[in-house]
């Protein structure tokens, strides 16, 4: 039976596609969001499982290098910046770190939150260049109100387009028959975030893409709100605009700390592709983590030509057809006995695989400083990183581009409440640290210095407190 477009007349159906469309339309999802999800579901029904085995790809040996990009003359820079926008992905709650609000409101450096620093970065660039340069957040319902309230502290961020747009949500699918799952005990658990690949769809369904184009913006620099090294670089903007590509991805050299992150590869047919951990068969895990073979990882810093995005989506019925990831979970993630489900997610960097003319460029490590765990947070809060006059957080020169590797016992440090208890005053000095591993309940007083390769192990029932001013050396 065909689906009728009047919500009140939609029939009940046992067909997964029809049922998914009904559920999305009842939730008032936009046309592009409905079309995108149904296209993914059809691919799952056809047998696609979102995996990319090693046999289907080749390593990428080299990329254009940002260090070789020419400077942009002042007049040209002004013209480009007049048509540019900064977009930050800001939908995360930081629940894996024990937070109950927007992750971007976590103090990260010198008492400033992610959003504080991002706002200051944009204001600094506006001040130095005279550009109107709007800051736009892609929020979730859970982060929108508090994040916008935080930005109210920066009245200088006034702009001619809305400050944010909302990401979409998609149905979780029963693993046995692909029907949208039902969970009457908590209907909100029937929905999942679609991954940051939803960026392109959400720009359309929210009306933000039209608003940006109508205001005369053409180039968007996109990055995660927890990556404070990701600022709009005018040289890279010039390279991107002059090349005429619709899309470009910033990649950096992989280090041992990046073994489990997504990497660039090349399909044997010739095009670049992004492979994530969840897309890798178990038998290829070793090859995936081989940083000498797969040299470049995705920083999730992107450049998008908004005009070409509009044209491409119009030509494709609003669907970019990104590679997707199939996550197998239970409808209630806290209850392993609840209904097994599939969650379909996409990564925004995977557009490099499906967008003709898309490019990648090698950038220095200074453009990548995310905080995904308390391990990252300790490093960022330490003196291994500095907050510059331009409000960018980057590794100090003494680190020669290599971050310290921090590995804290998740039993005692994973959640922010536990982390703060064990680092009550400040982070230890890590500027001279190669690797810090802590196992057990160890508490750090102020003025502690870590040098070289250090492991601190404590198995006692009572916490071990390191004295103020201690020097830990490998």
Q: What is the mean pLDDT of each run of 10 residues along the chain (474 residues)?
A: 38 81 97 97 93 95 96 95 98 91 96 97 94 97 96 97 97 97 96 96 97 98 95 97 97 88 90 92 95 95 98 95 94 95 96 95 90 95 94 90 92 97 97 97 98 96 96 91
Q: How many CB atoms lie within 10 A of CB 209?
A: 23
Q: Residue 128: how many CB atoms within 10 A of its CB?
A: 10
Q: Angle 278-320-44 (CA atoms, 0-180°, nearest 5)?
A: 50
Contacting residues for 461 by C-beta, under 8 A, at least 6 apart: none
Query: Taking a C-beta distance cutoff of 8 angstroms, is the pair 438, 407 a contact?
Result: yes
Give the domain ranges of the chain: 18-367, 374-473
Six token digits for residue 136: 């736009």
* Strand duo 263-267 + 272-275: pairing: antiparallel
Would you call 337 helix, strand, or coil by DSSP? Answer: coil
Whole-angstrom CA distances from 431 to 103, 134, 368 are 26, 35, 17
Give the per-residue pLDDT at 128: 92
User: In this structure, are residues 290 and 254 in contact, taking their beta carbons and an 8 Å threshold?
Assistant: no
Tokens describing residue 249: 């991805």
Q: What is the DSSP letter of 424?
A: S
Q: Specify the DSSP element, H or E, that contains 417.
A: helix 416-422
pLDDT, residue 85, reads 98
Q: Find, among 300, 345, 37, 67, the residue nearest to 192 by Cα.
A: 345
Fold of the domain spanning 374-473: UDP N-Acetylglucosamine Acyltransferase; domain 1 (2.160.10)
Any idea what DSSP says for residue 355? S
Q: How far apart are the C-alpha atoms of 445 and 471, rounded to whole Å?
A: 12
Distance between CA 349 and CA 347 in Å, rounded? Answer: 5
Distance of CA 396 to the CA centre of its chain: 24
Q: Where are the beta strands (DSSP E) in 94-253?
A: 107-109, 112-113, 135-139, 164-166, 170-171, 173-174, 191-192, 219-224, 247-253
Fold (topology level) of 18-367: Spore Coat Polysaccharide Biosynthesis Protein SpsA; Chain A (3.90.550)
Q: CA 286, 370, 410: angle at the middle one, nearest 5?
A: 65
Helix (H) or strand (E) holding 146: helix 144-151
Instruction: Collapse the DSSP code of 418 into the 3-class scheme (helix H, G, I; strand E, B; otherwise coil) and give the result.
Output: helix
Other C-beta atoms closer than 10 Å to the C-beta of 394 total 21
Helix intervals (H) in 196-326:
199-205, 208-214, 234-243, 285-288, 306-315
In the structure encoding, which two tokens stand for residue 214, read together?
């109508």
Domains 18-367 and 374-473 share a fold: no
Q: Which of 351, 328, 323, 325 is nearest to 338 (CA)?
A: 328
Residue 274: which of 212, 194, 197 has the closest Cα?
197
CA distance 127 to 473: 44
User: Measured between alpha carbons, how far is 259 from 266 in angstroms, rounded to an integer?
Assistant: 18
Q: What are phi and psi of 348, to 5 degrees?
A: -65, -30
CA distances from 389 to 384, 393, 399 (A): 16, 10, 19
Helix (H, G, I), strand (E, B) or coil at 70: coil
177 phi, psi to nearest 5 deg? -130, 5
Tokens matching residue 431 = 């500027």
Express the helix, strand and coil content of the chain in percent, nearest 5 each. 35, 25, 40
> In 359-467, which ranges are E strands?
359-362, 385-387, 393-395, 405-408, 433-439, 442-444, 449-457, 464-466
HSE at residue 167, side-chain half, CA atoms within 13 A, is 28
The DSSP secondary-structure symbol of 157 reads: G
**CA triple 108-361-232, angle to 5 deg:** 45
Q: Parallel, antiparallel, or unpaired: how do β-strands 263-267 and 324-330 relate?
A: unpaired
- Say if strands 191-192 and 170-171 run parallel, antiparallel, or are unpaired: antiparallel
């Amino acid at each position: 039976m065909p689906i009728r477009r009047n919500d009140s007349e939609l029939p009940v159906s046992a067909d997964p596609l029809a049922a998914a469309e009904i559920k999305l339309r009842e939730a008032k999802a936009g046309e592009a969001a409905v079309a995108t999800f149904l296209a993914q579901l059809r691919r799952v029904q056809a047998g696609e499982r979102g995996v990319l085995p090693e046999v289907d790809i080749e390593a990428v040996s080299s990329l254009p290098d940002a260090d070789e990009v020419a400077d942009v003359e002042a007049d040209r820079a002004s013209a480009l910046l007049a048509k540019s926008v900064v977009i930050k992905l800001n939908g995360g709650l930081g629940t894996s770190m024990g937070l109950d609000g927007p992750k971007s409101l976590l103090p990260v450096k010198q008492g400033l939150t992610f959003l504080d620093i991002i706002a200051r970065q944009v204001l600094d660039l506006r001040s130095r260049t005279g550009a109107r340069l709007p800051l736009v957040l892609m929020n979730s319902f859970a982060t929108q109100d508090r994040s916008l309230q935080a930005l109210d502290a920066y009245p200088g961020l006034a702009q001619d387009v809305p400050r944010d747009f909302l990401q979409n949500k998609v149905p979780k699918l029963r693993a046995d028959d692909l029907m949208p799952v039902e969970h009457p005990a908590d209907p909100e658990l029937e929905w999942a975030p679609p991954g940051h690949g939803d960026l392109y769809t959400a720009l359309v369904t929210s009306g933000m893409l039209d608003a940006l184009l109508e205001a005369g913006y053409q180039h968007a620099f996109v990055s995660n709100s927890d990556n404070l090294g990701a600022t709009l670089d005018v040289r890279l903007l010039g390279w991107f605009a002059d090349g005429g590509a619709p899309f470009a991805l910033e990649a950096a050299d992989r280090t041992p700390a990046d073994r489990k992150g997504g990497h660039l590869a090349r399909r044997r047919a010739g095009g670049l592709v992004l492979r994530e951990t969840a897309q890798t068969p178990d038998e290829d895990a070793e090859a995936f983590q081989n940083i000498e073979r797969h040299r470049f990882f995705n920083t999730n810093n992107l450049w998008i030509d908004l005009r070409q995005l509009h044209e491409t989506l119009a030509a494709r019925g609003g669907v970019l057809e990104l590679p997707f990831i199939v996550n197998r979970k239970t409808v209630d993630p806290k209850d392993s006995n609840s209904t097994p489900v599939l969650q379909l997610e996409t990564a925004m960097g995977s557009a490099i695989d499906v967008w003709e003319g898309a490019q990648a460029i090698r950038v220095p490590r200074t453009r990548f400083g995310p905080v995904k765990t308390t391990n990252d947070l300790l490093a960022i809060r330490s003196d291994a990183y500095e907050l510059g006059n331009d409000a960018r957080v980057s590794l100090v020169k003494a680190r020669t581009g290599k971050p310290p590797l921090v590995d804290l016992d998740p039993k005692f440090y994973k959640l922010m409440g536990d982390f703060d208890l064990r680092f009550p005053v400040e982070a230890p000095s890590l500027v001279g640290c190669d690797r810090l591993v802590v196992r057990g309940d160890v508490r750090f007083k102020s003025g502690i210095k870590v040098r070289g390769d250090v492991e601190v192990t404590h198995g006692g029932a009572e916490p071990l407190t390191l004295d103020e001013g201690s020097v830990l050396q490998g």
